[in-house]
Each structure stands twice: as structure tokens, then as C-alpha cells.
Structure 1
């Protein structure tokens, strides 16, 4: 019998760029095809030649629709991949939205760099364009949770709900007699829409994320968001909320609706300034209306709130520009969540210098992103080739996180029906990955490793 080899092509001692290749000698399966984000040295990896011929990969399995797990797909297709892309039905819908937006942003960033002259490349080019995306989307194969899909004569896959965002999955690949479980991004039991992740199935090898591997989420502060909203509104300022367009936007809007409905904060206009977030919101509303096994029961209140909330959509660029300096207190929810691109960047450029304003972060900020720099206290921030002073109030509201923390990851692993031969800890900054690996060894007694980028390991 042939043996499988697992190669860590991304998210090894870093949070982004998830790519894991299983090679049996007779077939190749790639689990996740994510973009690197954050530090320039990481983003440059997106341009590196792919370590194996893209055309030699038989299938790709995508755990969920966040860019650091699916954003490399069009580049892979551009380099010759033409096989099936297995994912859940909701992930397929959201991936189409995310990839089209990604291509648009890359094309626009290249255009602005060429016009503004702040590029080392002549000309600056996008990693991929909309044409590459449109060649990618027909390859998506929507697959229901619990369904076994044959990828090759010696490889098959099964998805289970991961509770992170709509459609998110854990991935079990059976290849050449070995069973490898990928956690993808694990959710929490506190998501207001999604059920907690399904318990892990039996596996010989587990590849687990460690985004929050060195910490525990703080207890929820019920007044943290409300207090910054009240302060900013009383100053006559704007509250800018950089939010991930998929899932985080929905959770932020639900909380704003609740706070205003209860009278906890004054009613002011709430603008949703992200075409991608508007399309994702429609997918969430549709999923809530149709029902799904991944959703919590008794969602009537959430369903009603998502339909009833008073949100002013900003679909066009001209309307977005008008929000750079609003003439009235308001809340602007815009993408991207780490302020790496999109409309939120020009809002930051105009609003950071004004001390009346505030910027509220609601999710993980990777090293090297503008969001991380702001949370770390920088006094000036570079955008569009120039620096702007940071005088606005910067606030972190961590309770929106939909990543399992260290306690929750270990508890999930402990529910596995049997111990794996090895657990590999990925998708975390080095300190987080190593801390979680130590915790798993100490608490569960498992053989646990933090792999290096490009490392190859046998699975039999």
C-alpha cells in the first residue's frame, strides 16, 4: 500500500495563507488555498512559484470562505489547476462573493499604485483578476455536511460543521489508508447564529488551528461597545468599525440593532459601506429563512432582527466617499476587518486625524496589518503612500471573536474518540502555536508538533 505525505505549504507559524497538501503518490489533494495577509514578507509569498505543479493537484477542499483559506484559488487556476473544489453549499456562495471582491481590490490597488507612483514594480500587477475568478467559480462543488466524496481512487473527504462562519467545515481526508482531520477555523459555543463545532471524528493525524492558542477570551463586557458609541456620538464624531464582510458584519449589525432598540445608545444612522458585506448579508438572511443543520435552533429573534435592522446600504463609490467626513454623528461599518484594503482604508485616512472620531476593532488583527498597528498604539499610519496622524480613539472589542480560544480548542480535541498519532498545530503566530502545542501535550498527553513551512511528514 502506498503511503501519504502531508506538506505544510502555508499557515505554519503564521496565521494566514492556509495550504496543506496530501500526496499519496497516486493523487494530490490540497486542503485550503488561502492568501497570506499582514506583513510584507508574508504577502510576498503569494507571488512565489507554487511548490508543486498546479495542474498536478487532483482536487482542492476549502474549509470556509475567509480570504486566508480560499483567496489563492484563482491564482492556482491561473497556474493550471482545473480540478474540483469541494466545499459546503454556503461556502460556495460566499467564496464567489469573496473572490470577486478580492480580484476587484487587487486590480484597484495595482491601478492606484501605478497612478500614484508608490510601487517598486513597473507596472504593478494584480495577483489575479476577475477573469481568473470567473474561471475558478465553475470548479466549486457544493457538498452537504456528512457526505463522503471520492477525490481519487485512494482519497476521499467528508465535511462537518465547524461553527466559525456560515458554511465553515472541519475536513476529514482519508488517503491511502490514513485519516487526517483538519480543524479549519474552529468556532465557539457562543455564536448567536451557528451551533458549536461538531465533535472531532476519529483520525490518525489532526491539524489544528491556534489563532488564540496562547490566550483565553476575556469575559464579555456588556458596556464596552455601548460606552464608546455614546462617547463618540456625544463628541459629534463618527464610529468606524472595520469588520470582516463575512459573518463579523452580521454579528456587529445584530449588536447595534439590540443596543439601539433597548435605548442603551442613541439612535444614529448606521451605514454598511461594503458591497461584499451587503451580498454576504443577503446570503445569511437566506440561510436563516431556509434553515440549516449548522444553525442554532429557535432563531426567530435573530431572523427578525436581521430583517428589521435599520441599515443604510452604500453600494456606490460616490456614497462611500461622502462618508469620509460625515456632517452628523453616525456609525460606519466597512471592510476589510484588518484594514488591509477596501473602502475602510480611505475612511481611516480621513477620519484618524479627528479626535472626535473612534475606530472600533471587532476581530483578530494579524501582525503587519493596519489594524494591528492601530491596536499597538501607532501615532501615525501609512496609507496610499503617505502618513496620517492618529488622533481618533482606538478601541478593541474582543467579544465578537468567532475563533475558539485555547481552552475551547483543547476541549474540542479532548472530545475525539481516540488520540491521534500526532497533532500538528498551525494557523497561529509562533508564540500562540507553541503555547497551544505545549498545552495539548500537557493536558491530553498527545504527541504534538508545530511544523515548519514546507515541512513534509508521513501520515502512515
Structure 2
């Protein structure tokens, strides 16, 4: 059996793991590369596999770096099943349609304003392409073994992180392959603790935060201080946020602080078409998270959910202090860029970064103290105050990742460290050796391993 590392190898984005056995050809995750230009360009390059022979894709969860390449793959001729838990597929549908819409809009804007090197600029895929991929979705229950054929079976085990997220266990050629996906936190505010595998012959472990522990931050105090500062300055608190789980966590905390009277009741907005869709997923699949129906209802009622793009400009022009949660979390696209383009230059603006910022993203540049960032072909001066809070991350830290493996009784034959930048992956490799005595390797992009 061959394992092809087609993404998330020595980087966090673009998760794709191709499995080629004597009987089957599968893909685990099908993500989009994000971040630095060198990575983004990979989305446009030839994918080294025979698409028409690919039978099925197994999705660990619905984030763009795990599902965002699906429409492109379908456009290239993929005709098989796309498996995932029901909430994962609902999230993936929302994210893919949003991604396609953003790409169409950005291509149109680039052509209109002439800042693209390509003439004409084209989207990687269209809304119609995304709809074709969504039509191939097939939901499966969490925790149950599913027989794919007489030689292969699989199951999904919840792993926290975001709603619907799971690790994937795949039995193929008498070997048990376990893909961690993105491991959530043991003490997450909204998600349940990850379920742990009890065995693995071939183990794939993410390492997003493999080199660090999350700071012990008082998140409620951070939010309180920034809201009070924003009120005092009569400004805007902008919280760029991933639409799935992160936005809901922030909404929950701000609603709770407002209900308690810890912060004043100022206008609060969720400006994310995806985020609005995800709220409905939270309402429908309450067994996947810790909030009850009444909490979700009250939380939603405390925010104005912006629907139309014209409302975005109304919020920007609105006088008085306000809080805006808008996508995307790493500032790679979406409505948040409109806010930043207009408000970053104001010293009454506060920006709170609340998640992982991949190398080469605007979020990473702000985090590292950039004095200006490029938005829609123009450089915008940064006079706003920039803050970060990793305690809201949906990713488990080094300790959470190590804990996820602690029920595996026998040492796996092979352990691959994936989904992490080089430093984080290498530190996770060393910790696994120290804690479990297992030898792990860090595959390179496009490397092929035989097992």
C-alpha cells in the first residue's frame, strides 16, 4: 500500500492524504492550501493522482483547509463518494459555497480594478462546481464501523475541535490507519472532549500547536477589557473569526458578559454569511455540543446578524461603539477585509485575533506587528491596536494532542507528524519519542511512503 502526502506536510494547510492499495484508492481530506503565495499557487497545479480511479474521500471535518479543494477535484473528474458525519457535511456545504462565492467576487473585482497579473483573473472554482461536489456527499453516523467492501471498512470518532469533527479510522489491507484530523481541546467551552483510539498500525497526528501549550488566559477578562476600551474610545472592536465554533464561542462569551452586566449593552454584529449558516447547524445538532437550545436562542438574539453586503457599510458608518465578529479568521478573505480596509487606519479601532494565524496570512502579519497590510491591491496603514488570545483556539495544544494518543496500547508501526509548520512538527516528534517511545517521521510534500 502507498501513502501519498499531497498536503499538510511541513505546513498546516491543504490536508490531503492519498491511499493506494491493491484493491482501493482513497483520499482522506481534500483541503485548500492557504497562507504564503508559494502554498496558494499549489491549488492551481496538477494534482499527482489519477482522479477517475479515486473511489472515495473521507472528511475529518468541514474547515476550508480540509474540504476546500473538493470542487476543483470534481471539476477534474472525480465521481465517487464523499463521506463525513452529517454536521461535517452541513458545515462543508456552507464553507464551499462561501469559498466559491468569494473566489468569483474577487476574480470579478480583480478584473474590474486591474490588480491581477492574470488577464482575465479566474476563480479556482465556481458556485456551480461547489454544488456538484456537495451533491456527492454521503453522511455516516459517528462511532459505527461501516463496511466499504470486503477488504475495507471505516469509522468516524468525534475529536472535538468543531461541530461534526472526527478522527478517521480506516482498515485496509489488514492494517488499521488512524488519521487524527484536527484534535480539539479536552476542556473546550462548546465541544465535548475528543474520543481516543485504542489501537493503530499507521498513525497520522496533527501538530498545529505541537510546540506549545495554550496560555492560561482569562478570556472573559480579555473581552471585557477590550469592550470597555472600545466604549471609552467610541470605536470599533473587530474580531476576525472562523465561522465554525470560534464565532459561536465568542458570541456565547459576549452574550454572557452582557447578561451579567459585566460589559455594557452596545451593538454587537455577526457579519459572516457562513457564521449565520453555522448557527443553524448548532441549533439542529445540539447533541454535538454543550449548549442547550435556550442558550443558543438567547445568544443569537443578542447579536444582529448581517445578511446583505450593503449592511456591512451601514455598520462601518454607524456612530458609537460597537463589536463586529466577521470572517475570515486569518484575514484571507471575506467581509472582515471590508472593515479592515476602512477602519485599520483609525486609532480608535481594536482588533482581536482569536485563532491560529498561518504563515503568510494577513492575520500573521498583524500578529507580528506589521505597519501596513495589503487588501484588494492596496496597502492599508495599521493604526489600530492589535491583540491576540490563543485561549479561544479550537485546536488542542501539545498536551491535548499527546493525551489523545494515551489509550493506544501497542506502538504503531509508523507514526507520521502532519498538519504543522516545521518547528511545531519537529517538537511534536520529539515529545512523542519522550512520552511514548515511538519513532515518528515528518513527511515532505508529495512524498510517497510504502507500507
Per the normalisation by structure 2, the TM-score is 0.97
Residue 178 of structure 1 and its aligned partner are, at CA, apart by 1.1
Q: Is the CA contact (8 Å cut-off) linking 1:24 and 1:176 kept in structure 2? A: yes
Of 277, 280, 283 in structure 2, the residue corresponding to residue 279 of structure 1 is 277
1:284-320 alpha-carbon deviations (Å, 9 max, x no partner): 12212xxx2x444xx44xx322211311011001101
Q: Is the CA contact (8 Å cut-off) linking 1:225 and 1:397 kept in structure 2? A: no
2:227 alignment partner in structure 1: 229
Is 2:444 the partner of 1:452? yes
2:77 alignment partner in structure 1: 80
Alignment of 1:336-355 (within 5 A): 336-355=328-347
1:306 alignment partner in structure 2: 296
CA distance in 2, matches of 1:432, 1:152: 37
Q: Is the CA contact (8 Å cut-off) linking 1:325 and 1:351 kept in structure 2? A: no
CA distance in 1, matches of 2:247, 2:65: 17
Of 301, 323, 326 in structure 2, the residue corresponding to residue 331 of structure 1 is 323
Farther off after superposition, 368-377 or 216-225:
216-225
Residue 189 of structure 1 and its aligned partner are, at CA, apart by 1.6
Q: How many residues align?
A: 448
Q: Is the CA contact (8 Å cut-off) linking 1:240 and 1:333 kept in structure 2? A: yes
Of 368, 374, 377 in structure 2, the residue corresponding to residue 376 of structure 1 is 368
1:17 alignment partner in structure 2: 14
Q: Is the CA contact (8 Å cut-off) linking 1:58 and 1:151 kept in structure 2? A: no
CA distance in 2, matches of 1:418, 1:158: 20
Is 2:50 the partner of 1:53? yes
Residue 194 of structure 1 and its aligned partner are, at CA, apart by 1.9
Of 386, 409, 426 in structure 2, the residue corresponding to residue 394 of structure 1 is 386
Misfit runs of 4+, over 6 Å: none
Residue 147 of structure 1 and its aligned partner are, at CA, apart by 2.1
Is 2:210 the partner of 1:213? yes
Q: Is the CA contact (8 Å cut-off) linking 2:356 and 2:393 kept in structure 1? A: yes
Of 350, 355, 366 in structure 2, the residue corresponding to residue 358 of structure 1 is 350
Residue 421 of structure 1 and its aligned partner are, at CA, apart by 1.2
Alignment of 1:18-167 (within 5 A): 18-167=15-164
Q: Is the CA contact (8 Å cut-off) linking 1:191 and 1:402 kept in structure 2? A: yes
CA distance in 2, matches of 1:45, 1:154: 33
Residue 228 of structure 1 and its aligned partner are, at CA, apart by 1.3
CA distance in 1, matches of 2:221, 2:88: 33
Q: CA RMSD in A?
A: 1.1
CA distance in 1, matches of 2:403, 2:127: 41
1:253 alignment partner in structure 2: 251
Unaligned runs of 5+ in 1: none
1:337-391 alpha-carbon deviations (Å, 9 max, x no partner): 1110011001100010000110111111101111110010001111111111100
Residue 153 of structure 1 and its aligned partner are, at CA, apart by 4.1
1:418 alignment partner in structure 2: 410
Q: Secondary structure at the match of 2:379?
A: strand
CA distance in 2, matches of 1:419, 1:234: 57
Residue 322 of structure 1 and its aligned partner are, at CA, apart by 1.8
Q: Is the CA contact (8 Å cut-off) linking 2:223 and 2:254 kept in structure 1? A: no
1:198-252 alpha-carbon deviations (Å, 9 max, x no partner): 0113110110100000000011224122111111111000001111011111101
Q: Secondary structure at the match of 2:135?
A: helix
CA distance in 2, matches of 1:444, 1:103: 43
